[in-house]
Amino acid sequence: MELSLTAKRLVLAAIGAVAAILSPALAPQAEARTLRFAFQGELKSVDPYQINESFSLSVNTAVYEGLVRRGPDMKIQPSLATSWELLDPLHWRFHLREGVKFHEGQDFTADDVVFSAQRVRGPGSDLKGRIPADAQVVKVDDHTIDFVLKTPNPLLINEWESWAIFSKKWSEEHGATEATAMNATTPPYAALHANGTGPFILISHEPGVKTVWKSNPAWWDKPRHNLDGVVFTPIANSATRVAALLSGEIDWMDPVPLNDQARVNANPDTQVLAGPEVRTIFLGMDQQRDELGHSSVKGKNPFKDIRVRKAFYQAVDEEAINKKVMRGQATPSALMIAPSIYSQSQDFKRLPFDPEAAKKLLAEAGYPDGFEVQMDCTNDRYVNDEQICQAVVGMLARVGVKVDLNAEPKSKFFAAISAAGGYDSSFYLLGWTPTTLESFNVFQYIMGCRDAKTNWGGNNVGDYCNPKVDELARQALQEPDESKRDNIFKQAWQISLFDDVGYIPLHQQALAWGVSKKTHVIQRPDNYYIFAWVTMD
């Protein structure tokens, strides 16, 4: 039926009205610069002490700051402390920055540092190691503070970027003086609310759904960023995350799966920011039990024989793994530490890939027909972890070792291989990032002979043990000069990885951040996400 002219005009007006109402929903936010960030995991809590997980620690540095921080070159810089000196090897003095305020207005003073030192070593905190338990924290005046240690520790401040400084007044006011008792029945205030000194202020946090921050105009430092706010969404499914980046709904995300990197780069509006990560991926073997828990060999442990360990090492073609499984993005490694944080890496070369030599070694060791063993591997933790393990299975099969691959989610994997699970693995793949960004950490947790009381060797699942190596590592800790320390470590690396073949290092994996071309971020090899360094066009 035909509409009269008036009717047509009315209809048009109605459409116009509806469009006007809906348009704010349709129009992009042209003025405000909001960074939309996505990651494959969730942000468990906005209280940095609650869990020692690198994602949570890194994102929370947007709100909470430490006495020091690291720059884009990974060197330690002053933050809430302007300078520090060693009055003697046991006595550190820090001079605190003046004129800094917390987001809710409280002044930052030495009292807050004393309180935070107490909170971080208190119940519920997962960061107790940030300050030695027997260290004393002494307030000298409102802007000077002393740390008195019982034993010298040149690495004291290495992890202090993530030791957040809390406001004493605010914490007491909201009952947040403890990070959280694990059996709490009321929700801890600090898990959903935050009050720090940092460049961003927390607006809201819906765990597992969305977290929103806005820029802090009163920040003490000159901002390198030009953001008004940040929105974080966890997107677990990789394909969806990549799609969100490609469609322009996300500005920055991590990780971009290896297989999708070409596509992200080919898209005119996005690109992949790839760079070396300090995480080393390696294979470990049970060298402690007299009979392996998951193998066909009865009455003895093949991994106690260095010839077997060496055979396994030489059976693995790391170049092929890097080329085909990691698409050339990894850095094959001779050591269990990244070259960027150990100055003498270039002096070490991997044992050559030689399956014939491997077969001979196995025969010499008494296994001419190989044997069977179970391999434990994650399928959701490291880059292409499952595929790396599958490739290793194939390579070992060709020298006669039949591997039963147990690829499982990280929750099950870590439950089994950790101390609580009884270090239950015969042969496994693991990754490690030394959070202090130097070698001692690796010798302390991964290479050290296990001692349940001190947690030395706490992550040494296979219990590779050589007291000489431990002695060298402890000796290095006493040495304040970094290059002299590295010399000592050189001997330790030589013994542990080449004389003993305690572990089989594979490679350092690569970081792959997906960014829209309008977003400019700075990548750190420890995979920290620093919002304060992001600019958007």
Partner 1 sequence: MSQPTLEPAKAGDSSPRSFVGGLADSDLVASFLSQKIIVAAGAITLVLVLAAIFAPWVAPTNPFNPATNFLIDSLTPPRFAAGGDARFLLGTDDQGRDMASAILYGLRVSLTIGVLSVLLGGAIGITLGLIAGYAGGWIDAVIMRVADVQLTFPAILIALLLDGLAQAILKNSNREETAFGVLVVSIGLSFWVQYARTVRGSTMVEKNRDYVQAARLIGLSPARILARHILPNVMGPVLVIATINLAIAIITEATLSFLGVGLPPTQPSLGTLIRIGQNFLFSGEWWIVAFPSLTLAILVLAVNLLGDWLRDALNPRLK
Partner 2 sequence: MIAFIIRRLFASIGVLIAVGLIAFVMFRYIGDPVNQMVGVETSAAERAQLREQLGLDEPVIVQALRFLLHAARLDFGMSYQFKQPVSSMIGARLPATLELAAVASILSLLAGIPLGVYTALRRDSALAKLFQALSLVGISLPTFLTGILLIYLFSVTLGWLPSFGRGEVVPIGSWWTTGLLTLSGLKSLIMPAITLALFQMTLIMRLVRAEMLEVLRADYIRFARARGLSERAVHFRHALKNTLVPVITVVGLQLGSIVAFSIITETVFAWPGMGQLFLQSVQNVDIPIMAAYLLFIAFLFVVINLVVDLLYVCVDPRLRASVRGAPG
191 binds, among partner 1, partner 2, none (CB under 5 to 8 A by kind): partner 2
Q: φ and ψ at 488, to 5 degrees?
A: -65, -45
The answer to whether residues 239 and 50 touch, using CB atoms and an 8 Å cutoff, is no
Shortest distance (Å) from residue 129 CB to partner 2: 6
Question: For residue 102, which of 118, 86, 94, 113 has the smallest C-alpha distance?
Answer: 113
The answer to whether residues 426 and 374 touch, using CB atoms and an 8 Å cutoff, is yes
Task: List beta partners, residue 200.
Answer: 215
- Residue 402: Cβ within 10 Å count: 13
25 binds partner 2 (CB under 8 A): yes
Kindly determine how many residues on this chain lie close enough to bind partner 2 according to the rule CB under 8 A. 60
The one among 214, 371, 421, 479 contacting partner 2 by CB under 8 A: 421
d(CA 294, CA 344): 37
Question: For residue 212, which of 222, 225, 201 has the smallest C-alpha distance?
Answer: 201
240 binds, among partner 1, partner 2, none (CB under 5 to 8 A by kind): partner 2
The one among 234, 257, 275, 339 contacting partner 2 by CB under 8 A: 234
d(CA 66, CA 394): 47
Decide whether 163 or 382 has the Cβ nearer to partner 1: 382
145 binds partner 2 (CB under 8 A): no
What are the tokens at 272?
A: 């992949």
The one among 220, 348, 445, 498 contacting partner 2 by CB under 8 A: 445
Decide whether 105 or 422 has the Cβ nearer to partner 1: 422
51 binds partner 2 (CB under 8 A): yes
Our CA angle for 422, 427, 429, nearest 5°, is: 100
Shortest distance (Å) from residue 214 CB to partner 2: 18
29 binds partner 2 (CB under 8 A): no
What are the tokens at 458?
A: 């706490």
The binding site for partner 1 (CB under 8 A) comprises 238-239, 242, 257, 259-260, 262-263, 293-294, 317, 320-321, 323-325, 374, 379-380, 386-387, 390-391, 393-394, 397-398, 403-409, 412
172 binds, among partner 2, partner 1, none (CB under 5 to 8 A by kind): none
The one among 83, 204, 226, 240 contacting partner 2 by CB under 8 A: 240
Question: For residue 472, which of 445, 497, 440 has the smallest C-alpha distance?
Answer: 440
Decide whether 298 or 453 has the Cβ nearer to partner 1: 298
Question: For residue 284, which of 505, 13, 19 has the smallest C-alpha distance?
Answer: 505
Task: List beta partners, residue 138.
Answer: 146
* Interface region with partner 2, contact rule CB under 8 A, candidates 107-115, 180-188, 195-203, 350-358: 180-188
d(CA 447, CA 451): 12
Shortest distance (Å) from residue 309 CB to partner 1: 21
Decide whether 132 or 257 has the Cβ nearer to partner 1: 257
Type of residue found at 110: A
394 binds partner 2 (CB under 8 A): no
Q: Cα 509 to chain center, whole Å?
A: 12
The one among 98, 172, 249, 499 contacting partner 2 by CB under 8 A: 249
Residues 446-465, mask of contacts with partner 2 (x by CB under 8 A)? ------xx-x--xx------
Residues 508-537, mask of contacts with partner 2 (x by CB under 8 A)? ------------------------------
DSSP secondary structure of 433-464: --TTSSSHHHIIIIISPPBTTTTBTTT-TT--
Phi/psi-derived region of residue 299, left when phi > 0, alpha when psi is between -120 and 50, beta in every other case: left
Half-sphere exposure of 26 (CA within 13 A, CB side): 6
248 binds, among partner 1, partner 2, none (CB under 5 to 8 A by kind): partner 2
Provide the 3-class DSSP secondary structure of residue 240.
Answer: helix
* Site for partner 2, rule CB under 8 A: 22, 25-26, 42, 44-45, 50-53, 126, 128-129, 180-188, 191-192, 206-210, 233-237, 239-241, 243-244, 246-249, 380, 409-412, 414-415, 418-421, 445, 452-453, 455, 458-459
